[in-house]
């Protein structure tokens, strides 16, 4: 997959005044594989909604979302499954992890869909994210920031053309979000993948091709 194109996309619940001034809502926008984008907005502007639309969780919007020219609203369930397992990965703001499982088990569930990473590669990511000692710890015993890092590792355990990060660093201190950015940047470079970062305004340490206001 080379492009994600939004043509006049706007959430059904938003009025015209709510999308006024946006670089994305109601506009024609093309995200290209290999580029990095910052999508900045205050709370309530629809950052999570935008990613839910792109990921295919929701379709309560007007306009079109096209993957290499194909409208996601026309995708079959199997096509959406293929999209999420081999082309687009999303690190959810709310994690959507399983609290009763260990950190490693949460990651392995995702990895078993495609076996994209080896066990040693996953262990190395835990080391790079400064939580190697938490791999076998039940998720419910981890801190919020530790859970965020597990969610990032899980999101990387699949083939990716585009990675979506929904306020993924909100509970990380400077040292740990720098480590996370470093890992993500290396993975995106190796895969020549596109990166969309939704944020309240923080630019973090990524080098962006384009910055947009939502």
pLDDT computed for residue 203 by the predictor: 67
Neighbours of 8 (CB within 10 A): 13
Cα 196 to Cα 125: distance, rounded to the nearest angstrom:
21
pLDDT computed for residue 94 by the predictor: 80
Cα 65 to Cα 63: distance, rounded to the nearest angstrom:
7
Q: pLDDT tens digits, the chain, 214 residues: what are they?
A: 999 999 999 999 998 888 888 999 999 999 999 999 999 988 888 999 999 999 999 999 999 999 999 999 999 999 999 999 999 999 988 888 999 999 999 999 999 999 999 999 999 999 999 999 999 999 999 999 999 999 999 999 999 999 999 988 888 898 998 999 999 999 999 999 999 999 987 766 799 999 999 9
CB 139 within 8 A of CB 102: yes
Tokens representing 174? 């400077």
Sign of CA dihedral 30, 171, 83, 13: negative
pLDDT computed for residue 205 by the predictor: 78
Predicted TM-score (pTM) of the model is 0.94
Neighbours of 12 (CB within 10 A): 10
Cβ-Cβ contacts under 8 Å for 47 (sequence gap 6 or more): 39, 41, 93, 166, 167, 198, 199, 214
pLDDT computed for residue 67 by the predictor: 98
How is 49-104 classified by DSSP, letter by letter?
HHHHHHHTS---EEEEEEETTEEGGG--HHHHHHHHHHTEEEE-TT----TTSBHH
Give 28's DSSP letter.
Answer: E
162-166 and 36-40 beta bridge pairing: unpaired
Cα 126 to Cα 212: distance, rounded to the nearest angstrom:
31
Structural domains present in the chain: 3-213 (3.40.50.300)
Length of the chain: 214
């Amino acid at each position: 997959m080379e492009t994600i194109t939004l043509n006049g996309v706007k959430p059904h619940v938003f009025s015209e005044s709510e999308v006024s001034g946006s670089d994305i809502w109601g506009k024609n926008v093309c995200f290209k594989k290999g580029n990095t984008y910052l999508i900045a907005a205050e709370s309530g502007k629809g950052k999570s909604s935008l990613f839910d639309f792109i990921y295919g969780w929701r379709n309560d919007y007007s306009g079109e979302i096209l993957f290499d020219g194909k409208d996601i609203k026309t995708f079959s369930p199997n096509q959406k499954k293929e999209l999420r397992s081999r082309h687009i990965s999303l690190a959810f703001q709310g994690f959507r992890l399983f609290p009763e499982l260990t950190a490693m088990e949460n990651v392995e569930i995702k990895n078993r869909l495609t076996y994209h990473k080896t066990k040693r590669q996953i262990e190395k990511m835990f080391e790079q994210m400064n939580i190697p000692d938490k791999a076998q710890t039940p998720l419910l015993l981890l801190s919020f920031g530790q859970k965020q890092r597990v969610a990032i590792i899980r999101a990387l355990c699949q083939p990716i053309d585009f990675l979506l990060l929904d306020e993924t660093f909100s509970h990380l201190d400077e040292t740990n979000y720098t480590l996370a950015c470093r890992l993500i940047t290396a993975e995106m470079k190796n895969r020549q993948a596109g990166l969309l970062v939704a944020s309240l305004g923080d630019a973090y340490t990524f080098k962006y091709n384009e910055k947009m206001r939502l």
